[in-house]
Amino acid sequence: REVPIQKYTKNNKFSISNNNITRTYSTLPDSSSEACASSNVPYIKVYENPFSIRKDIYKENQDKSGIYMFTNKLTNDIYIGQSINLANRFKNYFNISYLKHKDSLVISRALIKYGFSNFSITILEYCEISDLVNREQYYFDKLKPKYNTLKIAGSSLNHKHTEETKMKISDSCFSLRSPKGIYVKEKSALFGRTASYETKALMSISKLKENNPLFGQTHKESSIDLMKQKALGRIHTEETKLKMSLARGNPIYIYEKCSSEGFKLIGSFVSARRAGKFLEISGSTIIRYRNSGEIYKDRYKFSAKQPCFAGATQLIIKD
């Protein structure tokens, strides 16, 4: 049925907003609230379709520490967890690559098997970081979560896999590992992600100067000798030379005097050296005349300025 938007409060009561926007909701009791009610456990709020409103969930729980609960709507099985930053934890859960990477966890396999739409998220409480373990244990004892294999809160922090378990995990991921033993392809938590230019810029800035792990370090003499030996006899291809010239950013445009009124573009080059080779003069001569603005042999004019339109074959400029 259609009702005004409702907002959750800490007392699990609803307050009606004054705007006219409405949303459809089910009048049937949800499995999350049923689990809490049957055990007489209070809670903060429930997200019935968390994946569809994940951005709102991130915003509401950013930098908040607390206890959360996943509830399978089909089986009523639950998982209880804690986090010092709930928003970041939920971002991981909504990343299918992360779930595949963490497929040793029962909740990860359940989310993959049943899909996000068949789970709800309950914020049981917000609390201080120092209280997380105690509060998580409280909910373990009250709600008996089936998806939690470790029944002692915080025990995963000191949990050690047996050698047999380690071998099974290694074997399951071996074919998807790189030679260096790093998880790659769909086993990587970053699989399928593409960083934006803004993110790349921030990553670059974060590694500048003293933040760079190689800042202040110098090569050993032995390393320098090895690099020199590898460079001996190396011949760059014309394509590589062209890329190097373009990277240095020193283009030269040659204009030939065609009348008393102007000049015609006869060639563009990625470097002064190449322009000089075209006219059979030195690159330094090209640069000297380009900087002074003088006309070479009363015939050629050199400029670093591009033609006024792309693909131009002729350009007239005033002397």
- Cβ neighbourhood burial of 200 (10 Å; 0-12, 13-18, 19+): exposed
- Cβ neighbourhood burial of 272 (10 Å; 0-12, 13-18, 19+): buried
Task: Quote the percentage of the chain above a pLDDT of 70.
Answer: 72
- Mean predicted lDDT score pLDDT of the chain: 77
Say whether pLDDT at 126 is over 90: yes
Say whether pLDDT at 5 is over 70: no
* CA pair distance 79, 107, nearest whole angstrom: 7
215 vs 4, 227, 249, CA distance in Å? 58, 20, 27
* CA pair distance 37, 35, nearest whole angstrom: 6
Residue 110 pLDDT level (bands cut at 50, 70, 90): very high
pLDDT tens column, 286-299? 989 988 888 898 88
Region of poorest pLDDT, from 15-29, 51-65, 235-249: 15-29
pLDDT tens column, 255-286? 888 876 678 888 888 888 888 889 999 988 99
Q: What pLDDT is recorded for position 120?
A: 94
Give the DSSP per-residue string, the chain: -EEE-EEE-TTS-EEE-SS--EEE--SSPPHHHHHHHHTT---SEEESSGGGGHHHHHHHHTT--EEEEEEETTT--EEEEEESSHHHHHHHHT-HHHHHHTTTSHHHHHHHHH-GGGEEEEEEEE--GGGHHHHHHHHHHHH--SS-S--STTGGGS----HHHHHHHHHHHHTTB-TTS-B-GGGSTTTT----HHHHHHHHHHTSGGGSTTTT----HHHHHHHHHHHTT----HHHHHHHHHHHT--EEEEEE-SSS-EEEEEEESSHHHHHHHHTS-HHHHHHHHHH-PPBTTTEEEESPPPSSTT-S---B--
The residue type at 265 = L
Residue 127, token pair as written in the block: 């609390």
CB half-sphere exposure, 69, CA atoms < 13 A: 33
Q: What pLDDT is recorded for position 41?
A: 83
**Strand pairing partners for 24?**
2
Say whether pLDDT at 122 is over 90: yes
**Strand pairing partners for 130?**
none
Q: What pLDDT is recorded for position 318?
A: 35
Contact 149, 165 (CB under 8 A): no
When pLDDT is averaged across residues 202-231 and rounded to a whole number, the result is 83
Which residue would you say has higher pLDDT here, 315 or 228? 228
Task: Quote the percentage of the chain above a pLDDT of 90.
Answer: 30
pLDDT tens column, 8-20? 434 443 333 333 3
The residue type at 204 = S
pLDDT tens column, 246-256? 776 678 889 88
The residue type at 57 = I
Rg of the chain in Å (alpha carbons): 33
* CA pair distance 47, 122, nearest whole angstrom: 6
To which CATH superfamily is domain 43-141 assigned? Answer: GIY-YIG endonuclease (3.40.1440.10)
Crossing angle between the packed helical segments 86-93 and 54-61, to the nearest 10 degrees: 160
* CA pair distance 37, 33, nearest whole angstrom: 6
Domain ranges of the chain: 43-141, 242-301
Residue 174, token pair as written in the block: 């071996």
